[in-house]
Structure 1
Amino acid sequence: MLLPEDINPELSIYYNGSVILHFLLEKKNIDLITLYKHVKNENDMSLNTFMLSLDWLFLANIAIVTESGEVQLCS
């Protein structure tokens, strides 16, 4: 599912991770639920895809979720 061969690229984790990253670059720190609402309104992303994409950004050391529930870019 990271790089699908026979489905739309919009369904890939890389693409959806870039959508999340776009919002993070604008807001810097944003509440997890608020971020999901923005992403869902813009791209109609499912919660499952959102979480997988956020996990990918965490594993790539791009974004973290703080203890207070805010998502922020790694420095």
Structure 2
Amino acid sequence: MHLFDARYLKIRRGTVMILPNDTKPKTSLYYLGGIIIQELQANKNTSIPFLDLYERVKRQQNISIKVFSMTLDW
């Protein structure tokens, strides 16, 4: 079994942090997850298709679909 430091996840455009420890907290999965939760809470009584939710989040924070999916999964 290989153990590794899971604080950073490498993606094509840069690094997405699980736990922020520098000056870019908006790249944190916690921060991005908060944006997603806000969008879901704003639409409590309706379901939101995956791509519609992605477009709403992308308007607030320019993220890739890969990072968006990782945030939902994490």
Is TM (by shorter chain) over 0.5? yes
* Higher relative helix content: 1
Say which structure, 1 or 2, has more relative contact order (CA 8 Å, 6+ apart): 1
TM-score between both structures, scaled by the size of structure 1: 0.67
CA distance in 2, matches of 1:38, 1:2: 22
CA RMSD of aligned residues (A): 1.2
Structure with max Cα Rg: 2
1:22 paired to 2:38:
yes
Q: Identical aligned pairs, as a percentage?
A: 39
Q: Which of 21, 27, 42 pairs up with 1:11?
A: 27
Q: Per-residue CA shift, 1:32-66, capped at 9, x if unaligned?
A: 0000011111211221211111112xxxxxxxxxx
SS of 1:3 mapped into structure 2: coil
CA distance in 1, matches of 2:63, 2:48: 17
TM-score between both structures, scaled by the size of structure 2: 0.68
The unaligned stretches of length 5 or more in structure 1 are 57-75
Runs of 4+ in 1 over 3 A off after TM superposition: none
What's the offset of the Cα at 1:16?
Answer: 0.2
Count of residue correspondences: 56
1:34 paired to 2:49:
no
The unaligned stretches of length 5 or more in structure 2 are 1-16
